[in-house]
Structure 1
Amino acid sequence: MRRSVVEQDEKVSALPVFQRLMWEDAGWISRLWWVPILALAMALRFYKLTSAAIWGDEGSSLLLSEYAASDLWYHAAHDVHPPLYFFLLRGWIELFGDSIWSIRGMSAIPGVVVVGVGIWLTRQLSTRRAAVLAGILLALLPTAVRYSQEVRMYSLLGVWLLGATLALVYWVRQPARTRYLAVYALLMSAGFYTHYFTALCVLVHWAYLGLLSTRRASGPRLITRPAWWVANAVIVLVYLPWLPNLLDLVRHVEQLKVGGDIGWEAPVDLFSLPSMIWQLVVQDEGVGFWPPLFWGFPLLLIAVVSVTAWRDRERYRPASLLALFFLLPLMLVYGVSLISPVFIERYLTVYALGLPILVALAIDRLPTRLSLLGGALFVLFVGAELVGLKNNFTVDEQDQFNMPVEFVNRNYREGDRIVLSDMMWYLSYVYYDQTDAQLQLYTPPKPDGTPTRPNAYGFGTLVDQDGGRIYLDRLSALPADTRRVWLISSTEAPDDFAPLPEGWRELSRQDGGGARARLFVVCNMPQPLPEGCR
């Protein structure tokens, strides 16, 4: 016999500690059970928010947001992400400034909202107890916490896509109320203007409606309803202004590969799937783990997801929806990565939100006799998440990229030159730079003479218009009156700038965050010699 959500609420709790949260008439306190969960989510997302230095991807967000609206649209079109987040970031900075606390706070707040939407979605799909469990697991999910602390679009994307899924659930239950589809179309359109991987969510939703249409039901199938097709047509129409930019970007995939903006990820293999699950939950790829543990934990989670979905007998198949939300993008991106590697944690963080919700449903549906099993699964998952949070928050504030930049700021003199060896260092450096120097990017030709200057796509679009002043193909091409040069490069051998011109003498250096700032004085100059050459 199928159990309704109400019947599930009346059954004995698999986890007695949460039993009291089922009381519907316990007053206003019981109705605010979600407040401490959101408080936990907020505390975790704002904890050590400014500890890690701005890194390259964050720097690119900040550079892009500095453009005027018309220019921002153009440069986002040449980047690998759509423009909505950057427009919002621009407005946010105008209102609240560009301190690290402010710019990362714009990601932390949506990260908290995602937990609230996840609780709301779970409550619509299952019991209050399941919503409590899901809220706790979502609040602690390390990959969600991590990308709620970066100046990127991933937590905002979570709001759009989880919210769209919630709107879809409302419509599935009440198909006559097309306002839910209006909300759905709005949120999915926002998703498409935030990240291209929103297309995976479209596949999830169509697969879910296709699954619902396989069972016998009165009335027309939802997947064939005109309102559903109209909503999707609206999404396409809203996206049409951006479509030419997407097609142009596809035509320039090879240029993006040359610039290192895509294709830098290692090819996938048999170990990549379990490694991804480990990374999502504990922020560690797990490649050095004891083999039975490396394989056992991911397989256990996949088994929980699969069995819960397989045994789903609810009318609207909530467990199946969540299983599709988590597994379908994971498997599709893995499959695509066999051809072109895009199996990257941050691209899948939104879809990882389905895992803790489904674990909560699995625990909630266990009969009383298996309550210990449910408790063990909850403790295991929370324990893994706590390990992941520890990995997230383990930041050496004395070994960050801002350290060498601040060293340069303190010791800079008018007329000094600053040259960086890599675009990723350049993108980060701009945020911390307090000098009046024109930063330059070292772009030495390859031995065969092939240029290494970035092209106008990917990160290159952020500096290409000033390339004549920024790109430096040879250190010997610095102006003849140059006295002192700061070289910013990786701490790893070999030296990115080797061989150095004759007569350069190193005066000082500062390492931090994998980067090294070195001050050189140019000694092969006419008298008088610069200080440090004598």
Structure 2
Amino acid sequence: MPPECETRQSPRRLPFRQPGSIITPRGRARTEVWPPTNRLRPGAARANAGSSSRVDHRHSVVIASAYLLAVIALAFAARVVGLGSQSFWWDEAYSAVVARRSIGDIIATVAAEDFHPPLHYVVLKAWALAAGESEFALRYSSVIFGTLTVAAAAYVARRWFGKHAGLLAATLTGASPYLWYYATEARMFALAGFIGIAIVALADRAAAKRGWKLWILWALASCIGLYTYYYLAPVVAGAALFVAVRRRTLGRLGTALGLVGLSIAPWATVLEQRVSAWTNPWTEPTTPARVVRWTWPAIWTGLSDANLWDSNRVALALYAIPLSIALVLALTSATARGRQVLWRLTIGHAVWAAPLAMMAAIAIIRPVYHPRYAFPVAPLLFVAIAGTLVTGGRATILPRALLIGAMATLFGFGAARYHDGAGLGRDDYRSAIRAIDAAERPGDAIVTNSPPGVVYYHRGRAPWLELPTEPYRESEIAAGLASIGTGAARIWYQTHDLRPSDPEQFLLAHLEAAGDLVSFQEFGLLKVRGYALLLGKTFQPFPRQPLGGVRFGASATALGWAASPRAAPSGGTAYALVEYAVDNVGLEFGSWAQLVDREGRRWGRADHQPRDSHYRRSPLWQIGDRVEIGHAIPITPGTPPGTYRVETALYRLDDVTALEVVTADGRPLGQSLVLGEIQIERQRAPILTAEAREVAIGPELALREVRLPSGPIGAGGSLSVELLWRATGPLSRMTGSIALLDERGRPAASVDLTLGGVFTSELWRVGDLVRDQVAVTIPPTLPDGNYTVAIRVSGPDGVIAPSVHLGTARVEGIARSFDPPPMANPLPATFGDGISLAGYTLERAGDGIALTLVWRPTDTPRNRYKVFAHILAPDGTIAGQHDAEPANWERPTTGWVSGEYVVDRHTIAAAAGAPIAQVRIGVYDAATGQRRVTATGADHILISLPNPPG
């Protein structure tokens, strides 16, 4: 950082006539006017010493001053126009709410719950007392500091690189979308940016002067900065580091740093506590590399989106900036004169790069970050860029032009994204809360997961409560709702999508069990739901049903489950909750739950990565923890009313392998667990579906929707057909038949159905939507080709729709082999229904096994079967498991033909170091779970390893 050196000239210094100084690599400073003046002959000098030169100089000063004032005025105008048009978002509303409190309460609140120091809130409180607390008023304080930052950047750039650099720095700082956006927020960033550049400017002046006055001012500015924004610490450290280049200032620098340390010491304990609690369970932990990759495009475009690198145009511009800077530095160093300038320019870039590197390094110990945290770095970057643009003369014209083009591209891209609505925008709490207030009536209550917006904007009388909060448990949710919802007529539930604080859907499940959704509105990422509560409804934890200690691998034991006590409607949501005890840690897994009818057809499925009571993912759970995993299972619109099974599973996220399920006494249950049954009732209101063209099937029935698979179907597989019916009048019992017709119209495969299944059509009401799922089994020997899918519908009086074409299906044959493949161990065994095992090959694979089964059917099986393979420890317990249809689901048993060979591979992992004694294999019905038995009456076959462990 170049110090200012004294020169022999008039004490009265005109604007932009500041002599510069150059620091040599040895740390010595020599004074030199920058840019250098031309040497004139003595005669010429005397001739031009008159009024003409003074007039030209004054004219230049007036133009430069006018330009600077115009830039500052435009920057101010850009920041103040439309300042109050957008709503406060979460952080701004939080600032406004905290600033309402007394200074003592502000300090206590910040010390207990915030991740920023308190001075910003104190300043905002003082400002609000004078200007009010509207959006415009509170943001205006940031506009002031943002505008002052433009002037400060011009001052620092002029001192370091000359007047043209000062004007360029003001232009860049004023036009930056990044600095503009965050200078219009009622947060600490604009103030921190101004303090940051003031810290650097004071350090520069203090290093060039003798005496203590400027060092005391620098220490004071640093103290104010650290009590305003913790991320100013890297700026303070960076300024101190580069001031230390002048060794004669080390004593004063050390004393000033000592004063800063003493001033911040009273807050050190609070800082330590807040840093240790500084986590965000909803964002992925960051890394130093990600900090840089995320921050660099944000500084130039104002958009906090790391995916900007995926845009070729943006990525090229982002890469062009450091490349052009490096080229300017390299070309400047080619001359002796340039090497002197190079030192100054290098220092200028180091002043912003070092603090950014320190901010990135912080991610190693505290991996929570957002690009706005680097706000104080941006003005320093633009000062250095301004110096780069005025350096090097003709030799650097091309890289400087490249730099200008890249900056213009990124600035323009960011501004365009903002104005077209695809870029920066603020959550519209104002509209969301006003919608609640407008609809509020006596007996209403509000539940929210984003309270600052409610506190700031809510003007009604309805009480409000933040839910969920930690500890996040279903019982705590029920207690919270009981505290505010008992006796209430309606509950308004306002949420923010970026704070998914109800991942297990505890709160939504209780609201849907207690009432009916009567209102739903979206305001961007904000959602407002209104529930009319059932008369006399109370909130209590859902009653649990024991599961007898069923184990899911070595990871968890299922203790019990619960379902919503209220029947779920067709087209609504069914809720199931499972409580687990954690048996092992470190495995990252997901969980799914689904609704299945008696024929094994699926009618809804929910899948997510579960969280515990502290919102932690499974790798962070502790042995012995109790974890409740909830599933809000969306029920397909048109699902017939009736009884459905609820199944659930846990699976590894890395390879999507389900954990084996065994009973407490070691009996295997497969890779999913049937929890119990729930009841689905008919739709409570007309189901809204996408616009579709209906096909009339007789006078009282219409076919509204048809779903057929888009890809080819292998011979022996199943063609899944979904039909959505609408009753247009009273119906009697209707039946039908779906067929695959070849090119001549002849049926190649068919299946009969009763419309609605167990919810037969005479039970339908006018307007009901009812869905059918039908599976047409493709004969294993059906030739390849395209087939027409058609349906015939009949009533009590005969056929009412002889043939309605639903679409086409592509059937592809399967390559079959009738020659025996290699197998290490022949093992003839039959399981009935045409299933016959010919042999196997068994090898060790890491801690598990690689098992290859070879099947040779004696006939085409009637049903689809799954194959199970269990790794057994010496004590008979299951150490690993794999269940699937043969050949990794590619060769369903309904597609087998007599005499062919089917190769079926299973790779099974076991716990590291677990002993393996035997492998148990068998076959079971995929729909019912019933095992097939061998000729000896056993439902499995045991296979021993070639070299069992000792």
Q: Please give the TM-score of this superposition, normalised by the length of structure 1.
A: 0.80
| Structure 2: distance between partners of 1:368 and 1:124 | 23
- Aligned partner letter, 2:438: R
- Aligned partner letter, 2:269: P
Q: 1:299: which partner in 2?
A: 319
Matches within 5 A, 1:154-233: 154-174=189-209, 176-210=210-244, 212-213=245-246, 221-224=247-250, 226-233=251-258
Distance 1:160 1:263, change over 3 A: farther
CA RMSD of aligned residues (A): 3.3
Q: Which of residues 366, 383, 400 is equivalent to 2:428?
A: 400
Distance 1:504 1:273, change over 3 A: same
Distance 1:511 1:448, change over 3 A: closer
Paired residues of 1:268 and 1:343 also in contact (CA < 8 A): no
- Aligned partner letter, 2:272: L
Distance 1:163 1:515, change over 3 A: same
In the alignment, structure 1 residue 39 sits paired with structure 2 residue 73: yes
Matches within 5 A, 1:514-533: 514-525=525-536
- Aligned partner letter, 2:351: F
Q: 2:296: which partner in 1?
A: 277
Higher relative contact order (CA 8 A, sep 6+): 1
- Aligned partner letter, 1:429: V
Matches within 5 A, 1:127-526: 127-174=162-209, 176-210=210-244, 212-213=245-246, 221-224=247-250, 226-250=251-275, 253-254=276-277, 256-257=278-279, 260=280, 264-268=283-287, 273-284=292-303, 285=305, 287=307, 289-290=309-310, 293=313, 295-306=315-326, 311=333, 313-314=339-340, 317-368=343-394, 370-371=396-397, 373-395=399-421, 400-420=428-448, 422=449, 425-443=450-468, 473-490=479-496, 497-499=507-509, 500-525=511-536
Q: Shift in Å at residue 316 of structure 1?
A: 11
**More strand, by proportion:** 2
Q: 2:104: which partner in 1?
A: 70
| Structure 2: distance between partners of 1:271 and 1:73 | 33
Distance 1:46 1:522, change over 3 A: same
- Aligned partner letter, 1:208: F
- Tell me the SS of whatever aligns to 1:24: helix
Q: Shift in Å at residue 98 of structure 1?
A: 0.7
Q: Shift in Å at residue 450 of structure 1?
A: 9.0
Distance 1:519 1:263, change over 3 A: closer
| Structure 2: distance between partners of 1:476 and 1:203 | 52
- Aligned partner letter, 1:485: I
- Aligned partner letter, 1:205: A
| Structure 1: distance between partners of 2:426 and 2:239 | 46
Larger Rg over CA atoms: 2
Deviation string 1:397-434 (CA, Å, 9 cap, x unpaired) is 998332221111111113310111x2xx2112221111
Paired residues of 1:111 and 1:144 also in contact (CA < 8 A): yes
Deviation string 1:293-352 (CA, Å, 9 cap, x unpaired) is 565433332344456667574489542333223211222222332443234211101112
| Structure 1: distance between partners of 2:478 and 2:216 | 52
Distance 1:272 1:247, change over 3 A: closer
Deviation string 1:353-391 (CA, Å, 9 cap, x unpaired) is 222222211110031354354344224313311222233
Paired residues of 1:283 and 1:388 also in contact (CA < 8 A): yes
Distance 1:513 1:60, change over 3 A: same
Paired residues of 2:219 and 2:256 also in contact (CA < 8 A): yes
Deviation string 1:278-302 (CA, Å, 9 cap, x unpaired) is 1211134352555765654333323
Paired residues of 2:445 and 2:485 also in contact (CA < 8 A): no
| Structure 1: distance between partners of 2:258 and 2:472 | 52
Deviation string 1:147-189 (CA, Å, 9 cap, x unpaired) is 1111110110111110111111112222x14322122111111
The runs of 5 or more residues in structure 1 that have no matched partner are 12-21, 214-220, 452-470, 527-532
| Structure 2: distance between partners of 1:320 and 1:95 | 44
Distance 1:314 1:105, change over 3 A: farther
In the alignment, structure 1 residue 25 sits paired with structure 2 residue 58: yes
Q: 1:459: which partner in 2?
A: none
Distance 1:120 1:398, change over 3 A: closer
- Aligned partner letter, 1:484: R
| Structure 1: distance between partners of 2:231 and 2:324 | 25
- Tell me the SS of whatever aligns to 1:488: strand
Paired residues of 1:263 and 1:341 also in contact (CA < 8 A): no
Paired residues of 1:402 and 1:512 also in contact (CA < 8 A): no
Q: Shift in Å at residue 64 of structure 1?
A: 1.5
Distance 1:350 1:59, change over 3 A: same
| Structure 2: distance between partners of 1:173 and 1:398 | 44
% identical aligned pairs: 19
Paired residues of 1:282 and 1:388 also in contact (CA < 8 A): yes
| Structure 1: distance between partners of 2:427 and 2:457 | 15
- Aligned partner letter, 2:447: V
